[in-house]
Amino acid sequence: MSANPLKLRRIHHIEFYVGNAKQSAFYYRMAFGFSPTAYAGLETGSRDAASYVLSQNKIQFALTTPLSAKHPATTFLDRHGDGVKDIAFEVDDVDGAFEAAVDRGAIPEFEPKTSEDDWGQVRRAAIRTYGDTIHSLISTRNYSGPFLPGYRSSVVPAASTGLLLVDHVVGNVELGKMEFWADWYSKILGFKRYISFDDKDISTEYSALMSIVMSDDSHSIKFPINEPAGGKKKSQIEEYLDFNDGPGVQHIAMRSENIIETVRHLSANGVEFLQVPDSYYEQLPERVGEIDEDISRLRPLGVLVDRDNEGYLLQLFTKPVEDRPTLFFEIIQRKGSRGFGKGNFKALFEAIEAEQALRGNL
């Protein structure tokens, strides 16, 4: 099997369906430091949806709100609330990628089509993945516009928080479906199983989950897939599935080259993070060994550290950014490690369970 049968190049953008794109764009600009770069709406001839594109370094988000009950985002929002609809890939040949995906068993969302404006043409198709999430396949090689046809440039500079790129995107699926979707990413996209965790790796006294990380050969596109595991009480995955009314994107990990400064900026902007007990830092030197950072600078921010054979990483997780306890973000800095913070799982789960208890959902 080809290692990259669809010839995926990179994540082009991630599209969120949201209840109010104008206000969501303001939030991501002021809280996370994303700069609005493009807009589509009534003023540009879009009669059924308004959409704001925000960028920071290599990260590109599109926030889309329906203006009509007939737009598919209306049904999505009614069921799931605000969340990720599309993890879009850039490809060289949309028709070839779409045909390869369908031949391997992918279900089409829509067939290849061309859209154009004064900046040129874009070819686009899409396939379905878990829940109501899709993967668009996009070629912009004949396009020089600000985003996609129908969008106009709308640049509003923001104070960057140092977020560089999407490190990985995590999906939550139902009990018994993790292997199915891991096989799907292998068969359809040619991804490999990069690492897996079972309920012995990710558990506390009360709850557990299992996870398989799927990755392309370059390890630049990584998709962990989680499912719940049995426990005394409701796991974070079960809570997500209940409030999202099914599978979907749980969190997006964004990489920074200086997590201390990034988290300081984000916290000052009002972003709320999970906090682990102080005892976590008392055990840290023995567990991870020598690191470049001063633990006294990590502790007040709640930054977590883990080491593997290749190096170490630093990471921190936001609280859910919606009223439903569904979507959240991870900030991660890699210093050699290509792992996912296995040594932090217990402390992280206990912090999540404390939040679940406050919500009455543990």
Q: Tell me phi and psi for residue 215, to 5 degrees.
A: -145, 150
Domain boundary among 120, 153, 186: 153
Looking at the structure, tell me whether residues 115 and 212 fall in a common domain: no
In-domain check, residue 39 = yes
Q: Is the pLDDT of residue 206 over 70?
A: no
Contact 196, 179 (CB under 8 A): no
pLDDT of the residue at 76? 98
Once rounded to an integer, what is the mean pLDDT over residues 158-170?
97
Domain boundary among 111, 126, 153: 153
Once rounded to an integer, what is the mean pLDDT over residues 247-271?
98
pLDDT of the residue at 199? 55
Residue 315 C-beta-side C-alpha neighbours within 13 Å: 25
Looking at the structure, tell me whether residues 284 and 239 fall in a common domain: yes
- All residues at 6 or more sequence positions from 59 whose CB lies less than 8 Å from its CB, including other chains: 34, 163, 164, 165, 166, 254
Looking at the structure, tell me whether residues 208 and 295 fall in a common domain: yes
Q: Is the pLDDT of residue 182 over 90?
A: yes
Looking at the structure, tell me whether residues 51 and 96 fall in a common domain: yes
In-domain check, residue 3 = no
In-domain check, residue 76 = yes
Nearest residue to 170 via CA among 221, 234, 127, 109: 221
**In what helix (H) or strand (E) does residue 339 lie, and over which residues does it extend?**
none
Looking at the structure, tell me whether residues 277 and 303 fall in a common domain: yes
What pLDDT digit, counting tens, does each position of 321-343 carry? 999 999 999 999 999 998 887 77
Looking at the structure, tell me whether residues 182 and 331 fall in a common domain: yes
Looking at the structure, tell me whether residues 217 and 244 fall in a common domain: yes
- Give me the CATH number covering residue 284: 3.10.180.10
Looking at the structure, tell me whether residues 27 and 58 fall in a common domain: yes
Window from 265-279, 310-324, 335-349 with minimum mean pLDDT: 335-349
In-domain check, residue 317 = yes
pLDDT of the residue at 290? 94
- The residue range of the domain holding 236 is 163-359
Domain count along the chain: 2
Q: Is the pLDDT of residue 276 over 70?
A: yes
Contact 265, 256 (CB under 8 A): no
Domain boundary among 91, 121, 153: 153
In-domain check, residue 158 = no
In-domain check, residue 187 = yes
In whole angstroms, give the CA distance from residue 288 to residue 311.
Answer: 10
**In what helix (H) or strand (E) does residue 208 lie, and over which residues does it extend?**
strand 208-215
Burial class (CB within 10 angstroms; exposed 0-12, middle 13-18, buried 19+) of 346: middle
What pLDDT digit, counting tens, does each position of 94-134 carry? 999 999 999 999 999 999 999 999 999 999 999 999 999 99
What pLDDT digit, counting tens, does each position of 134-152 carry? 999 999 999 999 999 999 9
